Amino acid sequence: MATVTRRDGPATLKGVPYATYLQLRNAPGNQGLRMTYFDGTLEIMSPEYRHENPTRKFDLLIRNIVAAFGIPCTCAGSTTFRKGGPGPKRGHGKEPDTSFYFNNLALIASKQTIDLETDPPPDLWIEVDNRASSRGRLPVYAALGIPEVWRYRVGTGRLWFGRLENEAYTEIDRSTVLPMLTPPLVQFALAQCGADQTAWDLWLRAWAAGGLATDA
């Protein structure tokens, strides 16, 4: 029988079969919820504005960077990525806050749905941490085969880049999928955004076109 715990963050259920996770994830009434599943443990949360607002900033940032540098890309947003395991309570599933395909773009170009049994995961996965840290979820991303993960902490503005190596993440000081970007450079860009994201979008276009200078 599944047990439920609740702290200042997601509701956590233990002992959940993978098939039950799929039923809950596919239920129409749960579309607005985010779920993380890792070998029988299921976390459920409802995103807040404090969480969603920075996520949209990352979308704008990356869209402007790839446009300025002519990098082929598609955004997979908060698509549910999941993959079953060898037992009834084995498997992994999660929605990123936002995600992007770069190197594997051609492999999913004609897809309407993504199945990790046959399709590659996104090349870049971004998590925005509001009430809880995503550090403990790194094994989920690794199990799904995500090559690069960014973790952004809303309260402190800290940004961490990690690259998957030998089934674990190693901190890196420069993105491998977008090598012109480092955590300090992204933090600088985020700091230029006020309440008006339209104005920031225009700033991002000029900033990217001008070579990402930090003396503006």
pLDDT over 60 (residue 209) = yes
The pLDDT assigned to 95 comes to 95
Q: What is the dihedral of CA 113, 118, 124, 129, to 10 degrees?
A: 70
- Where residue 129 falls (left for φ over 0; alpha for ψ -120 to 50; beta otherwise) is beta
pLDDT in tens, 130-146: 766 677 789 999 999 99
Residue that wins the pLDDT comparison between 81 and 32 = 81
The pLDDT assigned to 181 comes to 98
pLDDT classification of 48: cutoffs 50, 70, 90: confident
Q: How far apart are the first and last CA of the chain?
A: 58
pLDDT in tens, 153-204: 988 999 999 999 999 999 999 999 999 999 999 999 999 998 899 999 999 9
Residues in the chain: 216
Q: What average pLDDT does the chain have?
A: 91
Q: Are 123 and 101 in contact (CB under 8 A)?
A: yes
Amino acid at 188: F
Task: Report how far residue 172's alpha carbon sits from residue 75's, in angstroms, rounded to the nearest whole number.
Answer: 22
- Where residue 140 falls (left for φ over 0; alpha for ψ -120 to 50; beta otherwise) is alpha
Look at residues 129, 136, 124 and name the one whose alpha carbon lies nearest to residue 81: 124
Task: Report how far residue 125's alpha carbon sits from residue 58's, in angstroms, rounded to the nearest whole number.
Answer: 11
The pLDDT assigned to 188 comes to 97
pLDDT in tens, 103-130: 999 999 888 999 999 999 999 999 998 7
**Residue 122: both structure tokens together:** 């996104």
| Percent of the chain's residues with pLDDT above 70 | 93
The pLDDT assigned to 52 comes to 80
pLDDT over 50 (residue 4) = no
